[in-house]
Homo-oligomer: A and B are copies of this chain.
Amino acid sequence: MSEKETVRLVVVGSTAIDNIETPWAKRKNLLGGSASYACAASSFFTSVGMVGVVGEDFPPEYMELYRRFGINLEGLQIKPGRTFRWAGAYEENMDERRTLLTELNVFATFRPELPPAYQVAPFLFLGNISPELQAHVLDQVRRPRFIIVDTMDLWITTAVEALRAVIGRVDLLTLNESEARHLSGKHSLIKASRRLLELGPKYVLIKKGEHGSVLFSRNGMFLMPAFPLEDVLDPTGAGDAFAGGFVGALAVGGRVNEAAIRKAMLYGSVVASFGVEAFSLERLSSLTREDIEGRAALFRNMCQVR
């Protein structure tokens, strides 16, 4: 990949090897991690560069898979040691997930560095890493037009002040329902989002899994259901695929306004819905832009009060 290639979107996050158990299947050594899901999802819409770290054990076929998605890998570090490993098990009905193993390995000492071509990219998705590292990335971007940050309970518990500072430097905060309640101290999502908007972002996007997502801004709300699926094979990475598809679709368009954001949420939902139809990136790797447009049209009709 040439260093001259234009990267419109930079995604920072984890790359992992996952073992996943569902009520119907057990799969080992799957490609996972927030950056993997988000980059793959965004690659259908825009040119994306990945900032992450893998160990020397990282399977060459997964590197090849990244390339097939067209992901720029200049920002992907290869370090001595083992790749981040995660294992989880879903309960019946896929409602609950237990973490069976978290082995940080090379991810424990990850320090994200942006290659020059990434530093001038207009769109940035800061996936779920420590707020300190997220701030380190923010210090490197030179011409940001739209920055999205994700987080998780761990950082709300252990690094809330650093997290608040990061949120104050971005355009959109995305997190799930329970995290929004945890970070704001409010149960009502309307009250929670009001508190979170006070931290500085223009938008708060709350992910509610099978119940869709809600966008909050100072102007109001946008309610987006999830695309309904008959069977979900593996929900791992759905939130990251949603966020990746969302920011990817946003990066295509010219202006970032609420109309563009709503449309991008529709695309994010659609890509995420394909993602959970199979394990890992298996469904996304055979997906086409036509598949996405077909389901987006269907979905739009399903949401339309006429």
Cα distance A117–B211 in the bound complex, in angstroms: 43
With A93-B187, A187-B93, A211-B211: A259-B228 Cβ-Cβ less than 8 Å: no
- List B contacts of A265 (CB < 8 A): 305
Whether A221 contacts B228 in the complex (CB less than 8 A), given A300-B305, A305-B262, comes out as yes
Q: In the complex, what residue of chain B is closest to A232 when comparing beta carbons? A: B188
A101 at interface, CB cutoff 8 A: no
Question: Is A252 in the interface zone, CB < 8 Å from B?
Answer: no
Q: Is the CB of A190 within 8 A of B259?
A: no
Residue A165 lies at the interface, judged by CB distance under 8 Å to chain B: no
A302 in complex: contacting residue of B222, B228, B301, B306, CB < 8 Å: B222
Size bracket of the A interface: 20 to 34
Annotate A234-262 by CB proximity to B: 1 below 8 A, 0 otherwise: 00000000000000000000000001001
| A200 within 8 A of partner (CB) | no
CB-defined contacts of A190 to chain B, threshold 8 Å? 228-230
Q: Which residue of B lies closest to A181 (CB)?
A: B93
Give the distance in Å from the alpha carbon of A273 to the alpha carbon of B303 in the complex. 19
Q: How far is the CA of A221 from the CA of B220 in the complex (A)?
A: 26
Whether A263 lies near B306 (C-beta < 8 A) is: yes
Residues in A250-306 with C-beta less than 8 Å from chain B: 259, 262-263, 265-266, 298, 300-306
Interface flag for A189 (CB, 8 Å): yes
Q: Does A223 contact B (CB under 8 A)?
A: yes
Q: Please give, as numbers and ranges, the residues of chain B lying within 8 Å of A220 by CB-CB distance.
A: 298, 301-302
The 6 closest A-B pairs by CB, nearest first: A223-B225, A259-B306, A190-B230, A211-B211, A262-B305, A266-B305
List residues of chain A with CB under 8 Å of any chain B CB.
Answer: 93, 187-191, 208, 211-212, 214, 220-225, 228-231, 259, 262-263, 265-266, 298, 300-306
What 10 additional pairs, Cβ within 8 angstroms, besides A212-B225, A220-B301, A265-B305? Answer: A93-B187, A189-B228, A214-B228, A222-B303, A223-B225, A224-B225, A225-B225, A259-B306, A262-B304, A303-B303
